[in-house]
Amino acid sequence: MRSRGLAIALASVLLSVVVQTTVFAPDAVRLFGTAPNLVLLVVVVCVRWLDPDPALLLGFTAGLLVDLLGSAPLGLWAMSLTVVAYLTLQVRDRVADGPLVVGVGILGLTFVGQFLFVVLGTLFGLQTITDPQLVKNLVLPSMYNVILAPGVFWVLARLLRPQQRVWST
Amino acid sequence: MLSSGRRFDRTTALFLSLLAASFIFATFDVRAQGGGAGGIMRDGAQQLFAPAQKAAALAVSPVVGFVDGISNIAGLRAENERLQAEVGRLEQQLRETAALERRVAELEAISGLEAPEELAAVTARIFAGGAGTFDQIRYIDKGKADGVLVGNAVIDEHGLVGRVDRVTENNARVRLITDPLVAVGVRVESTNETGVVTGRGSSALRLEMFQATQPVREGDVVVTDGSRFPPGIVVGFVSETADVVVGFALRTSVEPAVPLSEVDFVKVVVGWSPLDAGIEEPGGLVEPPPFVDPAAERR
């Protein structure tokens, strides 16, 4: 069951990378010049259901994939998404699993993950922090992730925990 | 599960190990400047993902077009009126250009110059963007097999898009001019003075001119100076007038000529390299005059 869950999570991450680079590519579906950070969203949702060690490895692997298909030095997204996975692990068992909490959590985690990347990117010479539209590029994807979250949560919860209700109260 | 001290320690240890591994990856990749093992991994990942990305891009293109159409429908009427006015202006310009072409041809014939041949270029389709939120890159479906090389200029009908910075057999990665790591040597057409344009992510480009003697005006055309890209490719238009201040570089912003978020097809200029500009032509080197010792000459 555990290996099945990990396999589904990995497949979801692979699919999200393909969707991120094609459907949400800069010349495709974009609203106000930005797109959701789907890979980060899938990591957060999968980590919600995985054991701690596979969850961290999933965050690291997803980040490494984003690094490999992006222009940043290898390891920056890996570091950011590992931190996001770790933070998700820290909060997931301590708060009630309701729509509002999940929404706020995804908003915060997306923002933190992207902000961490911006800081790391600047430290490693990418000059990401010099973008005058930085705030917009941090805030809007976080909001889009909140909008997409119910759908992603619904699908992954059914795949990873078929017997459990999605929004248990 | 996290409440158990042992489990917490193990998870934290794994977390710290993964952070350390990421940091090491980043450090080595920066030192290797995108080459080395990181470069091989990138090329491998791109080769693996390219078929899925191409298939996904093909499958979603009608949906993306439909969504684009819906979102643009409000602006279509105003756009139509603007385009009609533009057509009228361009027809007038075309007549003037035809007259100018005749004059240029006559002048070339007189001075014995040959008209520059069109640069060899390969047409490519963009099938994916970068996976990260802040990436300023695109993937195109042409690679080494089509003659594409690292450093080739990438253009479309509006002007400069970027340059090729990674190539596999059948695909290539293009770093856009909006990437902060891309610098383009440029010339402002109205003043004929040179400067450097650098990317600023999703915002307008930054133009810096260190030896400017004349101001630049809003709307001035900025073209490549031929140092790294073929000369005369439109890079963008000055978006803020800037005056020269003695002792300071002239700095202003430039709006890219290419609507980078709407590009589907591009051309990779494969028939030009910076060496063609004659900088390092063997015949162009001048031998220094032989040294003559004045004392020996007197004797």
What distance in Å separates the CA atoms of residue A143 and residue A37, rounded to the nearest whole number? 10
What distance in Å separates the CA atoms of residue B18 and residue B11, rounded to the nearest whole number? 11
Mean pLDDT of B260-281: 69
The answer, yes or no, to whether residue B63 has pLDDT greater than 70, is no
**Residue A168, domain member (yes or no):** no
Q: B265 to each of B83, B90, B142, B215, B262, how far by Cα in Å?
A: 22, 24, 11, 35, 9
Cβ contacts below 8 Å, chain A against chain B, sum to 197
Query: Any chain A CB within 8 A of the CB of B23?
Result: yes
The answer, yes or no, to whether residue A163 has pLDDT greater than 70, is no
DSSP B154-212: EE-SSSEEEEEEEE-SS-EEEEETTSTT-EEEEEETTTTEEEEEE--TTS-EEEEETT-
B212-267 pLDDT, tens digit each: 788 888 888 888 888 888 888 888 898 888 887 766 778 888 998 888 877 888 88
What is the reported pLDDT for A43? Answer: 93
Identify the weakest region by mean pLDDT among A96-105, A130-139, B3-12, B14-23.
B3-12
* HSE (side-chain half, CA atoms, 13 Å) at B145: 8
What distance in Å separates the CA atoms of residue A84 and residue A44, rounded to the nearest whole number? 7
Interface test with B, best of A14, A43, A68, A118 (most B CBs within 10 A): A68
**Residue A100, domain member (yes or no):** yes
What is the reported pLDDT for A162? Answer: 56
Instruction: Determine contact, residues A152/A42, Cβ cutoff 8 Å.
Output: yes
**Residue A84, domain member (yes or no):** yes
The answer, yes or no, to whether residue A105 has pLDDT greater than 60, is yes
Q: Please indicate whether residue A144 or residue B79 has the higher confidence score (pLDDT).
A: A144
Mean pLDDT of B24-44: 83
* Backbone angle region of B30, left / alpha / beta, with phi > 0 → left and psi within -120 to 50 → alpha: alpha
What is the reported pLDDT for B157? Answer: 82
Q: Please indicate whether residue B153 or residue B7 has the higher confidence score (pLDDT).
A: B153
**Residue A143, domain member (yes or no):** yes
Does B201 sit within 8 Å of A131, measured CB to CB? yes
* HSE (side-chain half, CA atoms, 13 Å) at B125: 9
Count of domains in chain A? 1
B271: three-class secondary structure by DSSP = coil
Q: Angle at which helices A2-22 and A134-160 pack, to 10 degrees?
A: 140
Look up the domain containing A54 and give its range.
2-160
Helices (H), B73-151: 76-111
Identify the weakest region by mean pLDDT among B41-55, B74-88, B137-151, B280-294.
B280-294
What is the reported pLDDT for B2? Answer: 46
**Residue A39, domain member (yes or no):** yes
The answer, yes or no, to whether residue B4 has pLDDT greater than 60, is no
Count Cβ atoms within 10 A of the Cβ of residue A115 and give its class: 0-12 exposed, 13-18 middle, 19 or more buried: middle
Does A133 sit within 8 Å of B202, measured CB to CB? yes
Q: Please indicate whether residue B21 or residue B8 has the higher confidence score (pLDDT).
A: B21
For chain A, the first-to-last Cα distance in angstroms comes to: 25
B139-159 pLDDT, tens digit each: 998 888 888 888 888 988 888
ipTM for the complex?
0.85
Q: For chain B, what is the mean pLDDT?
A: 77
Provide the token pair at A151.
Answer: 């759908």
Query: Strands B137-140 and B153-155: what pairing?
Result: unpaired
**Residue A75, domain member (yes or no):** yes
Percent of chain B with pLDDT over 70: 76
Query: Any chain A CB within 8 A of the CB of B80?
Result: no
What distance in Å separates the CA atoms of residue A21 and residue A28, rounded to the nearest whole number? 9
**Residue A167, domain member (yes or no):** no
**Residue A165, domain member (yes or no):** no
Confidence of residue A29 (pLDDT cuts 50, 70, 90): low
What is the reported pLDDT for B47? Answer: 84
The answer, yes or no, to whether residue B281 has pLDDT greater than 50, is no
Provide the token pair at A84.
Answer: 């996001």
B69-124 pLDDT, tens digit each: 665 565 677 777 778 888 888 887 887 777 677 667 666 655 554 444 567 888 88
Query: Any chain A CB within 8 A of the CB of B202?
Result: yes
| pTM of this structure | 0.72
Query: Any chain A CB within 8 A of the CB of B145?
Result: no
Does A137 sit within 8 Å of B134, measured CB to CB? yes
Provide the token pair at B114.
Answer: 């040959």
What is the reported pLDDT for B38? Answer: 81
Q: Which 8-state DSSP code applies to residue B287?
A: P
Beta strands in B199-276 (DSSP E): 205-209, 221-224, 234-238, 250-256, 265-269
Which residue is it, tokens 């997306």?
A: A110
Does B2 sit within 8 Å of A82, measured CB to CB? no
What is the reported pLDDT for B287? Answer: 42
Say which CATH number the domain at A153 has.
1.10.1760
Provide the token pair at B266.
Answer: 């591009």
